[in-house]
Amino acid sequence: MFAARPANPNSVLHQVNTKIGILISGRGSNMLALADAVDDGRIPNAEIALVVSDKSQAAGLKHAAARGLKTQVVERRGRSREEHDREIIAALREAGVELVCLAGYMRLLSDYFVEAYRNRILNIHPSLLPAFPGLEPHRQALDAGVAASGCTVHFVDETLDGGPIIAQRTVPLLPGDTEESLQARILEQEHQLYAEAVELVVTGKIQVVGQRVLRKNPEDDY
């Protein structure tokens, strides 16, 4: 997706980090998981350039600021979806953001936003999409009586929780599971999966072909 960059910081060409913008609305545990993965090198050659929240009270804002990440609140304030998104995009562009990660961002993006960052917006959803999109995916999985659910990281298109799937992880449902217990087990997997998927994107190992995400080098391990 992005051009390969020299790994050696002392090389003649300066190493350029992919600037990631993260959108949150709530507690921000996936945002922190991505920040950890950037810090410890699991997501190489990247930096979190900006964390944007549409809610001024989002707990994730405090966590982001506590670890030195730049934050910005862009509330909707009664505007249309696109007007709101235009302000967010202006903030992202100002920060030089190339890749947008939705992490518990609870608003649908306008077509304008999707087009502005086409195939450069990722989302994480706590189900095995296309099963159980939208609200209460854990409740949906329990009600459907499935043996397993899980989590999905995908590129964002104009549809609800739609777009080419980058990575998925399965989590079995256990006897006696509640929404809370299932949510907790899936969340643990989300934190790992999101970092793995972002690594695939920033290192340019994958490409989007129609609705599918394919390895550029089929011999790379999945």
- Applying CB under 6 A, the residues found at the interface with ligand GRF are 24, 26-30, 60, 103-104, 124-126, 187, 190
Strand (E) or helix (H) holding 101: strand 99-102
Both tokens of 8, joined, read: 């050696």
CB of 29 to ligand GRF, least distance (A): 3
CB of 73 to ligand GRF, least distance (A): 15
- Known active-site residue 191: no
If the CB atoms of residues 101 and 213 are measured against ligand GRF, the closer one turns out to be 101
If the CB atoms of residues 2 and 142 are measured against ligand GRF, the closer one turns out to be 142
Q: Give the CA dihedral 73, 79, 80, 82, nearest 10 degrees.
A: -40
If the CB atoms of residues 5 and 26 are measured against ligand GRF, the closer one turns out to be 26
Q: Give the CA dihedral 140, 26, 159, 204, nearest 10 degrees.
A: -110
Which of 40, 47, 38 minimizes the C-alpha distance to 18? 47
Q: Which residue is nearest to ligand GRF (CB)?
A: 104
CB of 151 to ligand GRF, least distance (A): 6
Q: Which residues, at least 6 apart from 1, have a Cβ–Cβ distance to it below 8 Å?
A: 119, 120, 201, 202, 204, 206, 207
Provide the annotated active-site residues.
125
